[in-house]
Amino acid sequence: MTPVDQLDDHARRPRNIGKLLNASAIGDVGSIVVGDALRFYILVQQDPSGAPDRLASAKFQVFNGTDQIAAASAVTELAIGRTLDEAVDLGPRDVCAHLGGLAGVELPPRIWAIEGLRAAIAVWRGKDLETDQDLGPLLCRCLGIPEETVRQAILVSGLADVDAVVAATGAGTRCGSCRVDVPRLIAEATGQAAAPATVATTPVAGRIQLMLRIQRLIETRLLPDLRAAGSDLELWDFTDNRLTVRAKGPLASDDQARRETLARLESLLKTDIDPTIGVAE
């Protein structure tokens, strides 16, 4: 079979899928409660002679992420029989090699099973690692694409420019405001030095004027609709050209509506005030 055929075979006939009842440890990626998550189970075999612990078994469950099944199936095959140190070092290139030299672009930009495997091993080793952890800060709020997903896509597929990243991940295809952050992720993923900031430190008087402009923009373009629905958005901080806000009312508990609101706010700020301004909660 060709590498693509092997990947397709894992998607149609996934190995080691389901719950491992006698698992030694469990690693979660994403939110099992909200969805878009993976749970990775490992069974650790300890050698009485003092030899390194090995993975005797590994299984996984996917929640609302069917595109992850084939890669997760391959990761379980790779992990079983390895020492814990060997398993922790597994990465996307190992998955590609296991599938006969598969091109990295055929895999998901972010392979949840690799992170779930590492999380489970960390739990086994007694490290303080939260389960049901979030997938990380969002780059594209319109489509809910995390920054780490884009970093993995850059690393696995060798992406080197903004247009290539947008084409591979879909980030930036809606409002486009997040495209300005893609060069930073390329630098982080490739280990290059990030480009120096082009915006000088804003003097206090200028900062006050800027905050007043931001406040007026939010009050006239965003808050009327939010307040009509019983919600509100509070300006919390403005540091290093990143505006921090806090959602109130129903907006605070509605993840989808909050992502859309923050994406709209960031788009307004980049269009009407400064294209380098970002938004965070």
Query: Which among 58-62, 104-108, 137-141 has the top mean pLDDT?
Result: 58-62
Residue 144 and residue 106 share a domain? no
185 lies in some domain: yes
Taken in order 36, 139, 238, 208, is the CA torsion positive or negative?
Answer: negative
208 and 108 in one domain?
A: no
In this prediction, residues 192-215 reach a mean pLDDT of 57
The pLDDT tens digits of the residues spanning 139-183 come to: 776 666 778 778 877 877 788 888 888 887 778 777 677 888 889
Counting the structural domains of the chain, the total is 3
CATH of the domain at 171: 1.10.10.1100
Rounded CA separation 53/226 (Å)? 55
Mean per-residue pLDDT, 249-265: 85
Task: Verify that 230 and 255 share a domain, yes or no.
Answer: yes
pLDDT of residue 192: 65
Closest CA to 279 of 268, 223, 135: 268
117-139 pLDDT, tens digit per residue, is 999 999 998 864 444 344 456 67
> Is residue 197 a part of any domain in this protein?
no
Tell me: do 32 and 101 sit in the same domain.
yes
Quick one: 111 and 9 in the same domain? Answer: yes
0.75 exceeded by pTM = no
Shortest CA distance to 18 belongs to which of 62, 80, 81, 76?
Answer: 62
The C-alpha atoms of residue 149 and residue 93 are separated, in whole angstroms, by 16
Q: Is 8 inside any structural domain?
A: yes
Q: Are residues 150 and 117 in the same domain?
A: no
Pairwise CA distance, residues 99 & 139, whole Å: 30
Handedness of CA 127, 128, 133, 137 (dihedral sign): negative
Mean of the per-residue pLDDT values of the chain: 82
Question: Does the residue 151 lie in any domain?
Answer: yes
**Residue 145, Cβ density class (10 Å: 0-12 exposed, 13-18 middle, ≥19 buried):** buried
185, 225: one domain: no
Identify the pLDDT of residue 59. Answer: 96
User: Do the domain assignments include residue 199?
Assistant: no
> Which percentage of the chain shows pLDDT scores above 70?
86
pLDDT mean over 186-198: 64
Q: Domain containing 254: what range?
A: 204-280
